Each structure stands twice: as C-alpha cells, then as structure tokens.
Amino acid sequence: MKKILLILSLLFLVACSNDEAKYDGAPLKIAVVGDIPKLNNEKIHFEPISLNEFSEDTLHISTNFDAVMITPVMFGEASEDRFVKVYNNSKIPIIFFDSTKRHFPFTRDGLTYETAHWESLNNGSHTTIYLSDVDANKEDAWYFYLKDEKELDTLYKEIFQKIETL
C-alpha cells in the first residue's frame, strides 16, 4: 500500500510540475532580466541578472550566455533611454518575451514601453528576438506567435531553436 501511495504521489508531483519545453538542441545558457521562466528542460539553463549587470558588463554577458531574455516585469525600466545603446551594441540576441510592442520601445531613443502606443507596433507577435550588428549597420528581428497559452512549450521550443542558430 505504501508503495502505491508513493508512486501515486510521485506521479502527482510530476503532473503538477512546471511546463516542459520540448527543445532538444544544443545546451543554452540564457541570462534573464525579470521573472525566470518556470519550465523544465535539462538543456536550458536560466540565470538571473540585473539590467545594470547587463549594461555594465556586456562583454562578460556576451561571452558567458547565448542570449538575454527580458520579461514583462522589467519592461518599464528596460525601455529607458539609458539602455538603448546596450541593446544596439549587444553581441548576443535579446529576447523581449511577451512584448506586444516588439523591440521598438527598447531600441529607439525617446520611447518607453508605456509611451509607445503606435498601433503598428502590435503585429500580433508574442515575443521578439532582436540582434543588432553595429559594425554592419544592420539589425535583425524575429517574431514568435502564441495562439493559445496551451502552446507555450512550442513557443519556447521555437525561440530556443532560433537562439541556437544565431
């Protein structure tokens, strides 16, 4: 009887655990400014950093991480003009997770996430990956869409696959 209860409780714990991202590519180390995603995948390692850490030590961040993810709880501060050069000079991709206004409030002077009200900013995407190449004077952005919250694991998988290729 004890074995059955133990097995049932283990199954219950597994069923109630965090979402699992079905990503099976190369291991990725992602610095996160804001809330750490609650998902399970042994190939993805999230490490919290502050905006100041990112802006003050971009060389360390770019050599030790595959990407930087910024989450909605930090959008207000992250969209301040003092960080525009950080994003535009970053050598690694920046994930603006759950940003309906894409990357524009973060990469343009004079805009903040709250003041950027252009209807054209909302292209229906959930998340944007932004990568700037100052030397080539170009920037790239990739958009990821989420139709249903139940497909969040698919969204993460697509984001991680793109990071792996950059």
Higher pLDDT, 63 or 5: 63
Task: Establish if 67 belongs to a structural domain.
Answer: yes
| pLDDT at 136 > cutoff 50 | yes
Measure the CA angle with vertex 62, ends 67 and 141; round to 5°.
Answer: 45
pLDDT of residue 49: 96
Question: Do residues 92 and 65 lie in contact, with contact meaning Cβ atoms separated by under 8 Å?
Answer: yes
pLDDT of residue 40: 86
- Residue-range definition of the domain harbouring residue 135: 21-165
Task: Establish if 135 belongs to a structural domain.
Answer: yes
Task: Establish if 12 belongs to a structural domain.
Answer: no
**Residue pLDDT, tens place only, 6-15:** 343 333 333 3
Task: Establish if 69 belongs to a structural domain.
Answer: yes
Task: Establish if 124 belongs to a structural domain.
Answer: yes
Average pLDDT of the residues of the chain: 83
Measure the CA angle with vertex 23, ends 22 and 28; round to 5°.
Answer: 145
Task: Establish if 4 belongs to a structural domain.
Answer: no
**Residue pLDDT, tens place only, 43-59:** 999 999 999 999 998 88
pLDDT of residue 118: 62
Checking 113-116 for CB contacts under 8 A at 24+ apart, the result is 113/75, 113/76, 113/78, 113/79, 114/76, 114/79, 116/79
Task: Establish if 123 belongs to a structural domain.
Answer: yes
Q: What's the predicted TM-score (pTM) here?
A: 0.82
Total structural domains in the chain?
1
**Residue pLDDT, tens place only, 64-117:** 999 999 999 999 999 999 999 999 888 899 999 999 888 888 888 887 788 777
Task: Establish if 16 belongs to a structural domain.
Answer: no
Percent over 90 (pLDDT), the chain: 51
